[in-house]
Structure 1
Amino acid sequence: MIQIETAWLLLLPVLFGLGWLASRWDFRLESRMDEQERMRQQRSTFKGLSLLLNEQPDQAIETLVKIAQLDPETIELHFSLGNLFRRRGETERAIRVHQHLANRTDLKSRDRDHAAYELGRDFLRAGLLDRAEASLNRVGEGKYAIPAKESLLEMYQVERDWKKAIVAATELAALQKKSHQIEIAQFHCEIAQEALRRNDLLEAEQSIERALQAVPNQARALILQGDYLLAMDRPAQAIEAWNLIAQNHPAYMHLVADRWMAAFTSLDRAKEGLNQLADLLPTQGSGELLDIVHKHTMSLLGANAAEQMLVEVMQHSPSLSALAKLAETRLILAKTDGPATRVTDLQATLGLLKLRTTSLARYTCGNCGFRARRFYWQCPGCNHWEAYSPRRSEGVVISGPSM
């Protein structure tokens, strides 16, 4: 009996050792399987990336989807998949991926903010603006707060919801520690312009004051202030407001010159108003202001005075547009008392000049180079505010789209 007990005692360490070896073997086998799985996922990931680089997005998506199904915890891969779906135009699939992440409670707040931001961009791409706004407003104060506010600001401008745009720009300025006063002033001006259009003079006045608080003596706000005063039948005060433009922003006077003349005419001071506009021509004689001054000079003083004015402009500010106006004026005079040959010559010259000035005269955005026949406060090409030069260019301009 004693010998049996001793044998069992000797056998116990052996059994223990065998158990330990079995556990180690099982652990190594499990580790090897995990390593093989990890290597398989890595190979699949590299395969997906290779397919992307080789411009085979459909096959790349299939490969990456399989990886995501094998390991639901691959958060970054889900984000990559969602963005890839959005770039491919498959917004419904992108929304499903990002919505799944945004609704997961086990994610870190940073990842949930990321998901909410990406989901908002998906909804924007799909044109679901209400849902995009709700999703972007879910983004917290972390890394994605600024891009979310930027997306909201862009969306509100597309919707022309200027009041929400003002709030978004103010919040964005606080986050970026960067001024957005120019945009805020423009948003108030948009509200004022719409109010003037529907004859809501109280809202127009309040919005103009807020625009001037954001950017004192801003050109557009002063123009609208004059329009408001003219609508209130106060032409003398409208002229005072527009005088600030003549003093501080003379390049913008062509935007208000016709209404300036209407205000002076209502006060029986039309020639005085015309003289003040003509005084700006030495520095502003190459743009639309010259066209307006020429038109009113012809109306008030006649063709001879218009010709003399244009000759002076050609001396200090020669341009194709001024030369075309001079040829037009001389053609009118020649038709009255000139020989037929002179009329024919002037008609041919004027035709060539008009063809040339029509094709070249453009307003050009200083940010993206977008060219247009009319002046815009917000560039239609890049959506930047006050990027357009108020002066038309007649020479070679930087390359860019036009309209």
Structure 2
Amino acid sequence: MIQIATSWLLLLPVMFGIGWLASRWDLRLENRMDERERMRQQRSTFKGLSLLLNEQPDQAIETLVKIAQLDPETIELHFSLGNLFRRRGETERAIRVHQHLANRDDLKPRDRDHAAYELGRDFLRAGLLDRAEASLIRVGQGKFAAPAKESLLEMYQIERDWKKAIIAATELETLQGKSHHTEIAQFYCELSQEALLAKDLNGAEHSIQQALHAVPNHTRALILQGDYLMAIGEPAQAIEAWGVVASSHPAYMHLIADRWMLAHAAIGKAEVGLDRLCELLKTQASGELLDLVHKQTVQIRGMQAANAMLSEVMQHSPSLSALSKLAETRLALEEGNGNPEREQELKSILHLLRQRTTSLARYTCGNCGFRARRFYWQCPGCNNWEAYSPRRSEGVAPSGPSM
């Protein structure tokens, strides 16, 4: 039988205690090193944020990249870094960061959706629309589903793919719980307009009905309905459709005044059509409608009638545009009367008025203030639909870009 010395038995607990103390010491050293590393990363992060706040983005990016390289698990930092690259216009670097995240298999579904969304935004910023669509479609039904769908809707409008835009807007209504009927009606109007240009009358009629279903008595849809009825040889019905615009949305009548008169001429009622437009001038005289009514009045009733009409407008709705047209009309009446001094006087007045009226802002977006000389259903500045007032502005032009 093996005999074990009592001293060895006493040494066993001592050796076990020394081993335990050594392991605890190693653990404390490791924790201290981890703490030092965390402190170093925090200091580097704060340094990067400080550089950003001090408008030193290049040095900030360099610092944040080093942190991301040292700790690949800093997912939020990767997202922040990618977004920073995109805001600076460095889309290639942003794509690399977000693509790296999107391809990681160890990410949670929410982070993977986030990466796919950010990558789609990168591709959209870079103009790679097909790759942007593929990435945004990968986003699931979580927090980033609605933002991804909004980006898809933005992209489809850039591509003028109105059918996909309608689908995206409809899905977005479900996700957000708010109406996108105005945009959907406008998308159908775009399809209708394309169909009319292509002589696809059945397609045009279908899209118009869908637009009116989305927004009953929608102004643009009614205008296009009149265009469709004129295209199939039904001017009386076209007048009926445009009559709804004249009654419910008279500020938009300048968009169809010429076609309104053509439809009335086609049924032999040009005078009736002109009378209705003249009646509208009592409330709509400060826009293009006045120019169109003046032209039609000269053609149908003569210069004297145009002069009388403008004199009446100046009584109830005085404006520089009306005054300019009145000077133009009186100059035409004066020519050939043997009074060169009067002609020269009217020419000088007309020249000054035209200089003033042509420099005025025409239509102004109520959302971003973008100004333009023609009317747009979708603002070229902010891309919002139906943001333009149908009335031309006069006086001091408001602040904002123009074209």
Amino acid in the other structure paired with 2:324? A
CA apart distance, 1:374: 0.4
Kindly provide the CA deviation profile for residues 339-380 of structure 1, in whole angstroms up to 9, marking residues without a partner as x.
221111111111111111111151111111111110000011
**Cα distance in 2 for residues equivalent to 1:296 and 1:372:** 25
CA apart distance, 1:121: 0.6
* Residue range with higher mean Cα deviation, 309-318 or 11-20: 11-20
Distance 1:361 1:6, change over 3 A: closer
Q: Which residue of 2 aligns with 1:296?
A: 296
Kindly provide the CA deviation profile for residues 179-205 of structure 1, in whole angstroms up to 9, marking residues without a partner as x.
000000000000000111111111000
CA apart distance, 1:138: 0.7
Q: Which residue of 1 aligns with 2:89?
A: 89
Q: Which residue of 1 aligns with 2:349?
A: 349
| Number of aligned residue pairs | 403
CA apart distance, 1:2: 12
Distance 1:206 1:2, change over 3 A: closer
Distance 1:2 1:332, change over 3 A: closer
Matches within 5 A, 1:72-221: 72-221=72-221
SS where residue 279 of structure 1 aligns? helix
Matches within 5 A, 1:4-403: 5-337=5-337, 339-403=339-403
**Cα distance in 1 for residues equivalent to 2:208 and 2:379:** 21
SS where residue 84 of structure 2 aligns? helix
Q: Percent identity?
A: 77
CA apart distance, 1:289: 0.6
**Cα distance in 2 for residues equivalent to 1:254 and 1:273:** 13
2:99–2:119: 8 Å Cα contact kept in structure 1? yes
SS where residue 401 of structure 1 aligns? coil
**Cα distance in 2 for residues equivalent to 1:223 and 1:137:** 35
Amino acid in the other structure paired with 1:369? G
CA apart distance, 1:66: 1.6
CA apart distance, 1:71: 1.1
CA RMSD of aligned residues (A): 1.5
**Cα distance in 1 for residues equivalent to 2:55 and 2:391:** 45
2:360–2:397: 8 Å Cα contact kept in structure 1? no
Amino acid in the other structure paired with 2:301? L
**Cα distance in 1 for residues equivalent to 2:371 and 2:85:** 34
Kindly provide the CA deviation profile for residues 213-250 of structure 1, in whole angstroms up to 9, marking residues without a partner as x.
00011110000000011011111111111001001100
CA apart distance, 1:268: 1.7
**Cα distance in 2 for residues equivalent to 1:133 and 1:93:** 19
Q: Normalised by the size of structure 1, how large is the TM-score? A: 0.97
**Cα distance in 2 for residues equivalent to 1:107 and 1:133:** 22
SS where residue 5 of structure 2 aligns? helix
2:361–2:397: 8 Å Cα contact kept in structure 1? no
2:193–2:204: 8 Å Cα contact kept in structure 1? yes
Amino acid in the other structure paired with 1:279? E
Amino acid in the other structure paired with 2:187? F
**Cα distance in 2 for residues equivalent to 1:380 and 1:352:** 31
**Cα distance in 2 for residues equivalent to 1:211 and 1:149:** 21
CA apart distance, 1:47: 1.8
CA apart distance, 1:283: 0.3
Distance 1:315 1:338, change over 3 A: farther
CA apart distance, 1:397: 4.0
